[in-house]
């Protein structure tokens, strides 16, 4: 609990210091941003709604980071955890746990992996789609799930190896969904992605 509280407070304080609301225009964030944000409580509480502990909730945090940027995504994850806790009748400690390990940790890992891709690989369109949209999402979600399993253990009646495999499969599914949506957004609505810029990833097109 204390580790979760520390990580949540540290991330929220860092996000507040960056004042990400300054980047939001007068019309507010794009509607896909809001739609994905509103859908996150459904993903985070899937195991509670289905009454099956083995069901692995999806994170969705990596896509929110791509759509909104890390600071604004972190602040938006707090009400997601509150709604998930209320809708799933979760104790506050469990809601906090999901905020950290389904939200803040995978969002931060996705940010770090994205920064590494920009540092070590060419700024190419397909690097953004496949690298940040697919592989970074999969690795961030899988690593966060493994760390959460290491911290609190497997649900009662489940084997850690089975839970780890289930979380890897869930991370792969989430990466497929995120990569597909990112590819669609880049092709048709690139301005919906706060982390994408034609100037960076299509320099030839931006100069024409």
pLDDT digits (tens, 9 = 90+) for 133-171: 999 999 999 999 999 888 877 777 778 888 889 899 999
Rounded CA separation 24/9 (Å): 23
The answer to whether 206 touches 199, Cβ cutoff 8 Å, is: yes
Q: Average model confidence (pLDDT) for the chain?
A: 90
Domain ranges for the chain: 2-207
What pTM was estimated for this model as a whole? Answer: 0.92
- Helix H or strand E segment including 65: helix 61-68
Rounded CA separation 29/162 (Å): 39
Backbone angles phi, psi at 83, to 5 degrees: -65, -40
pLDDT band at 204 (very low <50, low <70, confident <90, very high): low
Q: What is the pLDDT of residue 205?
A: 56
Q: What percent of the chain has pLDDT over 90?
A: 66
For the domain made up of 2-207, the CATH class stated in words is: mainly alpha
């Amino acid at each position: 609990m204390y580790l979760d509280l520390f990580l949540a407070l540290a991330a929220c304080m860092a996000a507040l210091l960056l004042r990400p609301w300054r980047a939001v225009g007068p019309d507010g964030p794009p509607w896909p941003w809001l739609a994905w944000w509103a859908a996150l409580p459904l993903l985070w509480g899937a195991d509670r709604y289905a009454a099956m502990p083995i069901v692995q909730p999806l994170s969705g945090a990596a896509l929110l980071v791509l759509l909104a940027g890390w600071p604004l995504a972190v602040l938006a994850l707090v009400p997601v955890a509150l709604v998930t806790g209320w809708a799933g009748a979760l104790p506050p400690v469990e809601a906090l746990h999901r905020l950290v390990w389904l939200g803040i940790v995978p969002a931060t890992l996705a940010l770090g992996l994205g920064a590494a891709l920009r540092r070590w690989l060419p700024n190419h369109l397909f690097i953004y789609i496949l690298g940040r949209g697919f592989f970074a999402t999969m690795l961030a979600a899988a690593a966060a799930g493994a760390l959460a399993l290491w911290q609190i253990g497997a649900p009662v009646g489940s084997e850690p190896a089975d839970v780890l495999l289930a979380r890897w499969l869930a991370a792969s599914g989430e990466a497929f969904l995120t990569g597909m949506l990112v590819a669609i957004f880049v092709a048709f609505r690139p301005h919906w992605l706060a982390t994408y810029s034609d100037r960076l990833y299509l320099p030839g097109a931006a100069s024409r």
